[in-house]
Amino acid sequence: MTLITVTGCASTKTQEATGEYFDDSVITGKINTLMVGDPDLKAREINVDTFKGVVQLSGFVNTRAESEKAAALARSITGVKSVKNNIRLK
């Protein structure tokens, strides 16, 4: 007796999200580019993740002003729906 398992590829909302993932990676890239180009931010200590237009910032900075600036840069990008700022002060 042979048992065959077939995995289907039904269209779901998660498959629809393929374009969203592309947009998310573009958003993340643009934010990282802005941060690297900003002399006041230590971009290598800030992590940027984007999922469905929601940006999450994490990492460490020296001042609250740096944290707020990073969040403002993220909000300035087209396609960003909201920013979760989880950056911590050193």
The pLDDT of residue 77: 96
Which is nearest to 48 in space by CA: 39, 59, 60, 38?
59
Q: Which residue has the tokens 């230590």?
A: 42
Average pLDDT over residues 3-19: 46
Q: Would you list the domain boundaries of the chain?
A: 17-89
Residues 19-65 have pLDDT tens digits of: 666 699 999 999 999 999 999 888 889 999 999 999 999 999 999 99
pTM comes to 0.76
CATH placement of domain 17-89: 3.30.1340.30
